[in-house]
Amino acid sequence: MKIVVIGGTGLIGSNIVDRLRRNGHETTAASPRAGVNTITGQGLAEALAGAQVVVDVSNSPSFEDQAVLEFFETSTRNLLAAEAAAGVEHHVALSIVGTDRLPDNGYFRAKVAQENLIKASKLPYTILRATQFFEFIGGIVDSSADGGAIRISPALIQPIAADDVSAVLADLAVGAPVNGTVEVGGPDRFPLDELARKLLSARKDMREVIADVHARYFGSELDDRSLVAGDGARVGPTRFHNWLSRSSAQG
């Protein structure tokens, strides 16, 4: 099976490519640095020639609200059109749990727009919504800095290892399209402020963490449903404390 991974040189994409190649699939890692650009269309037709499956894990170079919306809309339109022309049989895309619950978040609005374009196309598809990656918790914590402290919501979060998300995407890529959405989350749920304390403690960062129910998460107030997967979601096996121990040792 020929599978093209859009964003195939990034954190998730390179992991998926490695997994699929180990399982004997002809896999192309497509990205701008590999000469494939979904915004301009450069190299897209050539990359998709003969492909049965496309996995889109590309990401916007800018997270500014309008820029990220334009990226996902333009990229997805171009990609879906090229797939239709190439006879691709399955479009797999990575999205985020909670995209439709946090409309004040510009990035989430852009992912909803991407999902809607996929659903409106005539291509068989599978959308995987994943919870926030362990690897991104540090950025979430730092974005909540308020002077010398961290002011952050105590709402529940269900983070997952990027490696576990990659495993699910690789599995979905070789399966039949579900023509719907699959969710995946980590094995544990934590109040976000508690998770911040765990991370800072492991990094010997002495900043105080203040729980604030009104603290914004990239523009949105959270509740205990905002960032957790629903019933029936797949569950990644890696626990946060194990990932944290490994990443601290590697650091």
Alpha-carbon gap, residue 122 to 125, rounded angstroms: 9
Contacts of 6 (CB under 8 A, 6+ apart): 13, 30, 31, 36, 38, 54, 55, 56, 57, 58, 79
**Strand 2-6 vs strand 145-146: parallel, antiparallel, or unpaired?**
unpaired
Task: Report the chain's mean pLDDT, rounded to a whole number.
Answer: 96
pLDDT in tens, 201-210: 999 999 999 9
Q: What is the pLDDT of residue 251?
A: 57
Q: How many CA atoms lie within 13 A of 95 on its CB side?
A: 31
Low-confidence ranges of the chain (pLDDT < 50): none
Give the count of beta carbons closer than 10 Å to the beta carbon of residue 51.
22
- What is the side-by-side strand order in the sheet with 208-211? 145-146, 149-152, 208-211
Q: Which range of residues forms the domain containing residue 14?
A: 2-250
pLDDT of residue 248: 76
Q: For residues 25 and 174, is the Cβ–Cβ distance under 8 A? A: yes
CB atoms within 10 A of CB 172: 24
CA distance 159 to 171: 20
Number of domains in the chain: 1
HEC assignment per residue over 25-93:
CEEEEECHHHCCCCCCCCCHHHHHCCCCEEEECCCCCCCCHHHHHHHHHHHHHHHHHHHHHHCCCEEEE
Residue 107 belongs to domain with CATH number: 3.40.50.720
User: Tens digits of per-residue pLDDT, 155-184?
Assistant: 999 999 999 999 999 999 999 999 999 999
